[in-house]
Amino acid sequence: MNQPMPSFRSALIASAALLLAGVAAADTLRRGAVAEPNSLDPQIVSGASSTIMRDLFTGLTSYDSAGRLVPGAAESWEISADGLTYRFRLRENLKWSDGSPIAAKDFVYTLRRLLTPGNRTRFGSFFYSIRNARSIMSGELDPADLGVRAENGRTVVIELERPDATLLEKLSNYAAAAMPQAVIEEHGRRWSRPGRLVTTGPYRLAEWVPQSYLKLEKNPHFYAADEIEIETVQYFPTNNAETAMRRFLAGDLDFLLTFPADRMDWIEENLPGQLKIWPALGISYITFNNRKPPFDDVRVRRALTISVDRQQIADRIMVVGVPAAHTMTPSVVSNYDHPVPDYARQPMPDRLAEARSLLEAAGYGPDRPLTFELRYEPPEENRRLAIALQAIWREIGVNAELLFTDFGTLYRSVRTGDYTAARFTWFSPTDSPETFLFILESGSTTNYSGYNNPEFNRLIALAEAQLDRDARLAAYREAEALALADYPVMPLYFMVHRNLVAPDIRGYTPNSRGMTATRYLHRVK
């Protein structure tokens, strides 16, 4: 079987020729390494599919090619002096992808639907600052009581319970884009299929074969359709990053949203210029369960936190150019002065010595070593991280037992508080410290550590109520510094976006939000 039969070989060559002929037309784009969407309903789809969804739906606001906030379906807006009333003016001749007009009432429908219990919607809590939103979501009030109304055909008014500095950013989310009430009511759960899904964004859905591909074509009724060069974009979901990488190398895919971390060196050497890597609004951290031993003792938390050299972790273990983290709020968050704790500037030998004495004071030593379970989840790079931490902590006499679980098990265990320590990732939808600090606020959904500091909560509430940006960020800073001194969680490193982009693709500036909207991309000849 070493020599293929001549006819077999010619069949192979013929099929390869066919394949190559079909690739890389100038106005098409093939994107990979995305997750298969759990739904194409913009209010049901999970955050993992945001790149696809932003190609399909545009909210009142939007982002430009560098991730800066720009007008979307609304051409302009006014904010009242108390920061509680937003008045949006829609663009003239705004249309659905089927050509019929979009009116202000469509946005009212969208936000009411988003907050109505029983609709399987995911992003309702983004908009809890809107008047009555939370009470509607919990079933106490009727959706009609929501603080959103259509003043006339082109004016949407949103009334808030409290000032919300990130509302404009959040309104760019597809979950708050106009949605076609008539289509949804006619087709129910299946309204998101090709031929039915009516969109408002730069593209509309042409085909969807689950686990195979989604094909999007330019929406001729989009307000900026004239500026779009890519006529057709196909998304190829994959569960295997190596496969996506091979398809990219074979020229089958033009744009990968991520790639395997251990290929970093090879890519830097062989594909310079195709690698786009930059800081993201995300953090990787260890959450300690503050409610029970051993982590109810601040000395133990401090000892573990100061004994790890973050720069080493970032450079030697993670290898994908991640910034070291000593705070919860990433360094890339705009206009924020990061309260970096003092230990970060101390030499490592001193930190290790202090960690040992802290553990001794807490009652641990050679005859009674601190032993605990550290949970972590896929992908493979987390295993490397966990093993490195285990080795580092062994130096100060701590025995970390590693427990590898799938996502579901890990999330369930931290949510119910049934864990000791776990590695976790958080990405923020907004360029602000707010959601990073929610992680430490009492009663917050993402507060897995159980950290509870009334003074911290008070400072956060103070920050939220501040209309002035600098005063708000200063209050956040004070709150973060206060919490970090209690070591409730251990920041490890900040996340990065890492894309692989074919050399002939142009049109976007890497940005912390990871916005790579297809509408701005184009090919150079």
Partner 1 sequence: MLRRMLAFTLRRLVVAIPTLLAIATASFFLMRAAPGGPFDTEADLDPEVLENLYTAYGLDKPLLEQYGVYLANVLKGDFGPSLVYEDFNVTELIAIGLPVSARLGVIAMLVALLLGGTCGIVAALRHNRLFDHATMTMAMTGIAIPSFVTAPILALFFGLYLKLLPVAGWNDGAAANMVLPVIALALPQLAIIARLMRGGMLEVLRANFVRTARAKGLPERQVVINHVLQSAAVPLVGYLGPALAGIMTGSLVIELIFDLPGVGRYFIQGALNRDYPLVMGIVIVYGTLIILLNLLSDLAYAALDPRVRRTYR
| Chain positions contacting partner 1, by CB under 8 A | 12-13, 15-16, 18-19, 36, 38-41, 44, 46-47, 117-122, 124-125, 134, 137-138, 189-190, 192-193, 209-212, 236, 238-240, 242-244, 246-247, 249-250, 252, 405-409, 411-413, 415, 424, 426, 445-446
With respect to partner 1, which residue has the nearer C-beta, 19 or 66? Answer: 19
Task: Look at strands 28-34 and 85-90 and give their pairing.
Answer: unpaired
DSSP, res 315: I
The whole-angstrom separation of Cα 436 and Cα 479 is 12
With respect to partner 1, which residue has the nearer C-beta, 92 or 406? Answer: 406
Min dist CB 283 to partner 1, Å, is 13
Buried b (16+ CB within 10 A) or exposed e, 75-98: eebebeeebbebbbbbbeebbbbe
Min dist CB 285 to partner 1, Å, is 13
Instruction: Point out which residues pair with 62 in neighbouring strands.
Output: 70
Map residue 185 onto helix, strand or coil.
helix
Tokens representing 97?
Answer: 């992808």
Chain position carrying tokens 């509302």? 167
Min dist CB 409 to partner 1, Å, is 5
Min dist CB 436 to partner 1, Å, is 12
With respect to partner 1, which residue has the nearer C-beta, 228 or 286? Answer: 286
Map residue 112 onto helix, strand or coil.
helix
Yes or no: say if 385 and 396 are a contact pair by the CB < 8 Å rule: no
With respect to partner 1, which residue has the nearer C-beta, 223 or 235? Answer: 235
| Residues 6 or more apart whose Cβ sits within 8 Å of residue 386 | 374, 376, 400, 402, 404, 423
The whole-angstrom separation of Cα 181 and Cα 143 is 15
The whole-angstrom separation of Cα 282 and Cα 322 is 11
Min dist CB 507 to partner 1, Å, is 25
| The amino acid at 63 | Y
Tell me phi and psi for residue 343, to 5 degrees. -55, -25
Min dist CB 311 to partner 1, Å, is 27
Min dist CB 331 to partner 1, Å, is 22
With respect to partner 1, which residue has the nearer C-beta, 148 or 410? Answer: 410
Min dist CB 404 to partner 1, Å, is 13
Q: How far is CA 292 from CA 97, 282, 355, 414, 425, in A?
A: 54, 27, 20, 13, 22
With respect to partner 1, which residue has the nearer C-beta, 63 or 208? Answer: 208
With respect to partner 1, which residue has the nearer C-beta, 363 or 378? Answer: 378
**Omega of the bond leading into 163 within 30 degrees of 0 (cis):** no
With respect to partner 1, which residue has the nearer C-beta, 43 or 172? Answer: 43
